[in-house]
Amino acid sequence: MNIYHTVSGLRSDIRARRLNGESIGFVPTMGNLHEGHLQLVRQAKAQCDVVVVSIFVNPLQFGLNEDWEKYPRTFQDDAKKLETEGCDFLFHPDENEIYPNGMADQTRVVVPTMTDILCGASRPGHFEGVTTVVSKLLHIVQPDTAIFGIKDYQQLAVIRRMVEDLCIPVDIIGAPIARDFDGLALSSRNGYLGEDERPRVKVLYEVLCWCRDQIENGERDFTTLEIQADKTLENSGFRTDYVSIRNSKTLEPAAHDDNQLTILGAMFTKGARLIDNISLTLGEVNALTQQAEAKK
């Protein structure tokens, strides 16, 4: 595995592989890699000839009171894991390499839709930082395929919209959520959980599953489901950021005749903010149920 700290060095070697006719797969990360990240690398390796992984803790996507300074940096351990997985190129730039003119004067990439709701409502400016750095990384690597985890569902939707709007020639792939034994979505921030919290945080996944089951059984009062889910999280000792049932493509609040739905949730523990989601496709039986309800 080759490690690069500069854009020029990475580009030079990727260009040689591309000219050799090899396809390029890219997995952008902020490091502190866990099994979820490694699954993305494996998927990239299965689909492409060359796998590029970036590790960059992007300050532009962190708010004033967020955890950029304490975000775990575990580069040596991450590099060992990536080498074991067969990663070809590891890009590990510093802030000056990514933002050579400083963050204050950095040209920004703004996606005007889907960014001021859900996570964007509680993290102002977050998605502007995400789209800016992802756009830069895609232009640096110029991959054929880039793979992102579905756990950050809103982020994935925003990146897909950005790529479509800016005509960036890359195939964006969403990879399934990697979960722990009890259903908790794997996340670098799970390390912030206290011992007393860890057995209880599975409630976020459980409440999303409950919402899904209610919808599949014909329930269409989405607002009531969201309120009940919120209460369940609060009663479990956590502060709810949101539980929201949305159209999977647009992230608009779900309509009664939407067939592609995603239930998204976020909650605060003492030391972390956890997110998760579940998507479902309503089939013919569900459509008939909707029609019956509409006639009442």
- Report whether 109 contacts 131 (CB < 8 A): yes
Most distant CA pair in the chain, distance: 66
| Pairing of the two strands 239-247 and 145-149 | unpaired
Active site residue 37: yes
Helix boundaries (H) for 153-202: 153-165
Q: How many residues does the chain have?
A: 296
Catalytic, out of 37, 92, 139, 256: 37
Q: Helix axis angle, 153-165 relative to 126-141, nearest 10°?
A: 60
3-state secondary structure of 55: strand
> Nearest-CA neighbor of 112 among 133, 92, 130, 127?
127
Position 221: which residue type? D
Strand residue runs (E) in the chain: 2-4, 24-29, 50-55, 89-91, 145-149, 171-175, 239-247, 260-268, 273-281
3-state secondary structure of 239: strand
Q: Please list the active-site residues.
A: 37
